Amino acid sequence: MRGEDPDIVAVMSVLAETAPDIVVLQGFDYDLTGAALNAFADRLAGTGPSYPWRFAARPNTGYQSGIDLDGDGRAGDPRDAQGYGRFSGQGGMAVLSRFEIIASDVQTFTDLLWRDFPGALLPETDARPFPSPEAQAIQRLSTTAHWVVPVQVPGLGRLSLLTFHASPPVFDGPEDRNGRRNHDEILFWQYYLDGTFGPAPAEKLVLLGDTNQDPQDGEGRKAAIRGLLNNPLLQDPAPRSTGSVIISDDPFDTADWDDPVPGNLRVDYVLPSRDLTVTGSGVWWPDPASEAGETAATASRHRLVWVDIAR
């Protein structure tokens, strides 16, 4: 509210420049009353787009499990939360929209247990399930959340946003706990679209979020993200940017990490259903040497991915 945080100022500048009708914010701290989200949106309305419709729900990030989930022999650390976090709600998600969010019809799968996911790739050691059978009995699939958020868009009708933020497939050991979880978090949407978790929209939907997974480069299991990009219900506009070409000669990257590892990767996606017409797409990554490029870098290591759609 003071306008003194350079990251927040930069994020608001990016949103004022791009002015999306609907935006999913990743890494946005959750609080019970929505004070932070409302303060952010209200301040943004003074210089950029106005978002009267807002949605956030409690994420798994920072939600303490009460037991040792990462196998280090201690409980109560950030990695012992259902999703990494130093406090409950740290680094959650939020949706801002110019159009009505039908909050009463939102579906959340945040509390789905990982072991209840079909064919779950639960981590194991030679001796037993990792880190323990007790941990796997309460471990949730979602690092942050899996939401289906319907929005009533004029001229288009009801548009379903399928959104999530998956675990990075690193920061673990030979049991590959995070790599396996990342795979299953992405794979969740294939099962959702197949109707495994109940009736799912077959049209007028957009799957979007931070998968923390590149289909070609970087660490992790690639089968789930490649399957999602090839799902017959979805289309991949393959957004690109000038800034990414300048930095890595790859137009499709969306995140700028340290070189050489992990380097720049494509991990953020906006995938409309095939019944929708894509009229434009891109990654807001201006020339890094420009003022706009510096603003984008200050806002986040991830760049805003945008897609324009019509019926």
pLDDT tens by residue, 165-201: 999 999 999 999 999 999 999 999 999 999 999 999 9
pLDDT digits 0-9 by tens, 269-310: 999 999 999 999 999 999 999 999 999 999 999 999 999 999
Phi, psi (deg, nearest 5) at residue 14 = -60, -45
Read off the pLDDT band of 256 (50, 70, 90).
Answer: very high
Separation CA 22–CA 92 (nearest Å): 17
- Asked if 157 contacts 204 with a C-beta cutoff of 8 angstroms, the reply is yes
108-151: per-residue pLDDT in tens?
999 999 999 999 999 999 889 999 999 999 999 999 999 999 99
Residue 127 confidence (pLDDT): 85
Mean pLDDT over residues 65-85, rounded?
97
Structure tokens given for 149:
């958020």
In this predicted structure, the answer to whether residue 263 has a pLDDT above a threshold of 90 is no
Q: CA triplet 305, 27, 219: central angle to 5 degrees? A: 70
DSSP for the chain, written as a single string: --S--HHHHHHHHHHHHH--SEEEEEEEPP-TT-HHHHHHHHHHHHHS----EEE----SBT-B-SS-SSSSS-SSSGGGBSBS-SSTTTTEEEEEESSEE-GGG-EE-TT-BGGGSTT----B-SSSBSS-HHHHTT-BS-SS-EEEEEEEETTTEEEEEEEEEPPPS-SS-TT-HHHHHHHHHHHHHHHHHTTTTS----SSEEEEEE----SSSSSS--HHHHHHHT-TTB-------HHHHHHHS-TT--EEPPTTTT-EE--EEEEEBTTSEEEEEEEE---TTSHHHHHHHHH-SB-EEEEEEE-
In this predicted structure, the answer to whether residue 215 has a pLDDT above a threshold of 80 is yes
Per residue in 223-232, pLDDT tens? Answer: 999 999 999 9
Instruction: Give me the pLDDT at residue 292, please.
Output: 97
Q: Is the pLDDT at 259 greater than 80, yes or no?
A: no
Residue 243 has pLDDT above 90, yes or no: yes
Please give the model's pTM, rounded to 2 decimal places.
Answer: 0.97
Give the pLDDT confidence score for residue 29 in this predicted structure: 98
**What is the distance between the alpha carbons of residues 141 and 91, in angstroms, rounded to a whole number?**
17
pLDDT at 45 over 90: yes
**Surface-to-core class of residue 108, CB atoms within 10 Å of its CB (0-12 exposed, 13-18 middle, 19+ buried):** middle
When pLDDT is averaged across residues 71-76 and rounded to a whole number, the result is: 96
- What does the pLDDT average to over 48-59? 97
pLDDT score of 255: 97
Per-residue pLDDT band for 94 (boundaries 50, 70, 90) equals very high
Please give the pLDDT value at position 260.
75
In angstroms, how far is the first alpha carbon of the chain from the final one? 38
Residue percentage of the chain with pLDDT more than 70? 100
